[in-house]
Structure 1
Amino acid sequence: MTMPSASSSKSSTPTAGEEEEESSGSSSSRRATTSIIRDEDYYFEDGSCILLVQDTLFNVHRSMLSRDHSSFGAMFSLPQGGLEAEGKSDDNPIVLPGDKASEFRHFLWALYALPHELRIINSPGADLTLLIDIARISNKYSFKSLETWALDAVHEYVNRKPSPLFFTSIDTYSSSSSSLTDRSSTSTSTSSSSSSSSSTLSIESTESLTRLIQLAQLCNHERLLNTMINLLRQLMSKSLQYAYLAMKLADDLDIRALRGSAYLEVMQKSVVVRKPSPSASSTSTTTTTMEEAEGSSKDSEREVTLKEGSIDPQGRLVISPSQRLRLLSGYWNLTRQWEKLRTHPPVFAHSSSCGASWHHHGCTQSWVEFWKEKTKGEGVLEMGLADVLGRLRKVQKDYEKWGSATYMHHDCRLAARRCIGELVRGVEEKLPDYFGDEEGEEDYGVM
């Protein structure tokens, strides 16, 4: 037995009957217009359970499907009554909706593979698609041990150095608008051969990242999910494409740990975020209107169909209305939060020895003067208005450089340092809340 691939061949063997029109609900009429074939690798002559996945019949052993306390075992134990049991013949198979034949073939490979064949899973030549399919099907049919084994193999695969998820180093993914435009399907410029290659590799990597984080979320595999979130955070700081991917995945899968940082990264990119036209459909494509350089008549307008996540010819990211609303809310909430922080220095508990042997008022005054001076310093003002985390970290650095030339008590200096650190962590934890769907008056509790 050899490891199957997604394009594994199949044999066209006798089917479940010719195409015919029947009004009855029999299994033959259900598949009357479909050409059914037997799988070349997993239609065993001595099999005891026939399954139909898409247009492919698998004949495997019930004892194999009943292992690991799977849902198949529970299904086989149900009484059939007077009806003919499904899975006994090609004409009346057990139908598995929602699965692909290639995925189920990969799953069966894991069930039937010999020990020496399984070694490839932990080798440099491991097939990520194979592992993902095994984990997904195992999760669906409650093969818990097999699911855990496959997910651990996926996690090991992802953590290899250099990462096999990328055919080139992460640093090759530039966030410049020109390279992003080359990647966009709507770009009118001609890409060079090297740009086309980078685009292809980037698309493949994006698809792999999406499938992996969806799998980790589906199977509730915390280690894999955390690994993928950390990887996306690294990638999105280098490319707007990955920042948008992280933002979309955070929304689609409700990943709080990723949402705040992803939205913040998109908001801080130099590419202008663009709102789709009101005439856009509710699907993933939107319509934007672009005026010609000269002329203001209606004839000078032309419509260009753009896909969400792409870059328009003017270098702007196309996003959905709901994403735009969250970005605007985030900008408003973060700028307002910074104004509160700037005008209200954090309060910390003074050391008991400060009041006994130090001028308590002078200690407080020294801290307040430092805070007001540094929060309007040149380094802070160079950052974006909504970059609260960046500004706080700059103040934190300035505090470390403040030295001993201060009228603050030593213990109070340590308390103030902890206070700044807690402030940074508080903003990080509350970051997803800033990017709500509506502008609100919430107190995010970071002060």
Structure 2
Amino acid sequence: MSHTPYPSSYYAASANPAPTRDALSDSVETDVCVIGAGYTGLSTALFLLEQGFRVVILEAAKVGFGASGRNGGQIVNSYSRDIDTVERSTGSNEARLIGAMAFEGGQIIRERVARYSIDCDLKDGGVFAALNSKQMHHLEAQKALWERFGYGQLEMLDHDGIRNVVASERYIGGMLDHGGGHIHPLNLALGEAAAVESLGGVIYEQSPAIRIDRGDTPRVHTQHGQVTAKFVVVAGNAYLGGLVPELAAKSMPCGTQVIATEPLDTELAATLLPQNYCVEDCNYLLDYFRLSADKRLIYGGGVVYGARDPADIDSIIRPKMLKTFPQLQGIKTEFAWTGNFLMTLSRLPQVGGLDGNLYYSQGCSGHGVTYTHIAGKVIAEALRGQAERFDAFASLPHYPFPGGQKLSAPLSALGALYYSLRDKVGF
């Protein structure tokens, strides 16, 4: 039987101990079969188990193998496209519901960490850093937008204020979200998996779903076993492949790249990010960075459309890091990795149901740490017959990428180039 290990990354190298989980080799029955042991699947399973459902999770590789275990580790509120885009895309009641949920994911993460004693280096505070006056005006509008939906944890930072939180000359100001934060993402996934098992849930690793027999009693097949369930939840995101053909045309896997430096001197680390906040800039193709628990700078950015792995990740990301922090010249890069996320054309999540008993959520579009935890809650609500919030997400319109699957990556890359040029000239 094939075995897929974690890809090399700082997170895999510093992960908490976890049990070796068996592959499925039998026929089992359950209430809900969840496909994918990333944040969406784990969050869904936890909420369902807490409500008394029996749950089996099928994971193609290992818990948190995909984006959940490789991302930048930042707790960022709202969605990849903000609430004003949602308001333009759907009805007023649906926009109200989705807007209210924009700040719930971080709360769910903190509640899970506290309830299940998850060791994942949780730290509070996230900064949006502006490189020009246009971006500052955008942040002021974003603050007003979020406050209109009842969120009151934002603080504008002027030129001196941004210098107090990040030691870079690139930024003219920013906005601090006291409700943001950062975590060790793989350890969060591992902790949530342990919580799932503590409630009686079963996780099979190295068990990719290869076929779903859809019908009144769906059956999910792996190479050596099958799960018969009342409901199926598809939570594979960028690693789903063609398992559910209806979901493939309106989404595209994309890759993002991250590096981690060698551990920094304590004094140097403290000067870079004195309050230990995480930071992301306001560019369309944004950079993001933070300190790890052992004082490495974790720095990410860039998008590869179509999810190809670059030959030399460090050569892509390190110049970005040194542009932000030239004082790190000479500091070694010890880890460099890539991971895939799933993007929709609207950059809003794709949520819905098929056949009355198959539910899905995907397409976080690079903004998934918080959203996936909300998704798990609304899917669990829908399975209990409380579908108002699920239906609000399902009402968001989604369209195929122009050019179909063959041309979606190059056309998206051209669009991104346009916005990247706009970032550079500041208009």
TM-score tier (shorter): under 0.3
The structure where strand makes up a greater share of residues is 2
The structure where helix makes up a greater share of residues is 1
TM-score (norm 2): 0.21
Structure with bigger RCO (C-alpha 8 Å, 6+ apart)? 2
